[in-house]
């Protein structure tokens, strides 16, 4: 089966750094995405990794280790507006097509 | 605005009624996806279109659910004989075959409440 695990909730302080981990067991791995979702809104794309290593994009970085089935999202210089759910999603190739399988999301609360 | 749009944004219906949702993807995107999301969970894949062809359907999509994309542009998702368990956010996303990641762009969703 396909399984994606990430912590349910995390809290952090404004200005700090937080790391959100994601582990996955999937077949047909074809890339890993991180999305941000504010309450009641649509998910928005943050990052994409298909090869091992770190991808940096401003205050956000994402890391992938395919051999370990592991990724993390690193958020630096946290701001209050970063309070949201962070969704780890694995793209799998099945039957000739790609589809996304999402984890349940990590709800991040940033405090002053 | 050239993003993905969905209508209606909210729908309250009584159990047993039929409902239909519409999704307008980003105009140049040929791939369209429907997902369902319940509180505290990530989106669950329902179905996928490439142009007008429905290429994959999740086992979550019971025979009460049907989706169409008749001209390869907008799509509709119909739920017949709604049940309380159908209450959820229904998200539509689109993507194109450009770039390396083919990331999906999501619409604002239709929140369905079945009473």
Give residue-wise pLDDT tens across range B78-101: 999 999 999 999 999 999 876 556
CB proximity list for A76: less than 8 A, separation 6 or greater: A17, A59, A60, A61
Does residue B58 have a pLDDT over 90?
A: no
The distance of B103 to chain A (nearest Cα, Å) reads: 7
Question: Across the A/B interface, how many CB contacts are shorter than 8 Å?
Answer: 55
Beta carbons of A98 and B107 less than 8 Å apart: no
Map residue B69 onto helix, strand or coil. Answer: coil
What integer pLDDT is reported at residue B61 of this predicted model? 81
Flag whether residue B2 sits within 8 Å of chain A, measured between CB atoms. no
Chain B residues whose CB is inside 8 A of the A97 CB are 48, 50, 55-56
What integer pLDDT is reported at residue A25 of this predicted model? 95
Map residue B29 onto helix, strand or coil. Answer: coil
What integer pLDDT is reported at residue B100 of this predicted model? 59
Flag whether residue B108 sits within 8 Å of chain A, measured between CB atoms. yes
**A10, exposed or middle or buried, with CB in 10 Å at 0-12, 13-18, 19+?**
middle
Does residue B69 have a pLDDT over 70?
A: yes
Residue-level pLDDT, tens digit, chain A, 112 residues: 789 999 999 999 999 999 999 999 998 898 999 999 999 889 999 999 999 999 998 999 999 999 999 999 999 999 999 999 999 999 988 777 788 999 999 999 999 9
The distance of B104 to chain A (nearest Cα, Å) reads: 8
Chain B residues whose CB is inside 8 A of the A99 CB are 33, 45, 48, 56
Interface of B with A in 39-98 (CB under 8 A): 40-45, 48, 50, 55-56, 91
What integer pLDDT is reported at residue B99 of this predicted model? 57
Alpha-carbon distance of B98 to B115, in angstroms, equals 42
The overall average pLDDT reported for chain B is 91
Alpha-carbon distance of A27 to A91, in angstroms, equals 10
CB B68 within 8 A of CB B79: no
- Which among A42, A97, A101 has the least Cβ separation from residue B107? A42
Higher pLDDT, A73 or B54: A73
Does residue B41 have a pLDDT over 80?
A: yes
CB A43 within 8 A of CB A90: no
Alpha-carbon distance of B112 to A36, in angstroms, equals 22
Residue environment code for B4-17, b if the CB has 16+ CB neighbours within 10 A, otherwise e: bbbeeeebebeeee
Q: Identify the band that residue B112 occupies on the pLDDT scale cut at 50, 70 and 90.
A: very high
Beta carbons of B109 and A42 less than 8 Å apart: yes
């Amino acid at each position: 089966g396909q399984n994606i695990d990430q912590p349910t909730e995390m809290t952090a302080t404004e200005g700090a750094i937080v790391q959100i981990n994601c582990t996955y067991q999937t077949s047909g791995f074809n890339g890993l995405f991180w999305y941000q979702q504010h309450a009641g809104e649509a998910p928005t794309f943050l990052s994409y990794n298909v090869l091992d290593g770190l991808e940096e994009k401003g205050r956000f970085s994402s890391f992938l280790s395919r051999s370990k089935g592991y990724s993390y999202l690193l958020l630096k210089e946290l701001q209050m507006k970063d309070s949201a759910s962070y969704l780890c999603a694995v793209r799998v190739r099945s039957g000739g097509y790609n589809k996304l399988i999402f984890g349940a999301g990590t709800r991040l609360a940033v405090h002053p | 605005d050239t993003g993905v749009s969905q209508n209606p944004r909210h729908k309250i219906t009584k159990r047993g009624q039929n409902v239909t949702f519409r999704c307008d993807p980003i105009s140049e995107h040929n791939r369209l996806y429907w997902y369902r999301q319940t509180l505290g969970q990530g989106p669950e894949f329902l179905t996928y279109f490439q142009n007008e062809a429905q290429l994959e359907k999740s086992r979550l999509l019971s025979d009460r659910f049907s989706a169409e994309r008749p001209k390869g542009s907008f799509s509709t998702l119909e739920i017949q004989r709604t049940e309380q368990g159908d209450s959820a956010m229904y998200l539509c996303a689109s993507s194109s075959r450009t770039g390396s990641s083919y990331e999906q762009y999501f619409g604002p969703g239709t929140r369905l409440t079945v009473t």
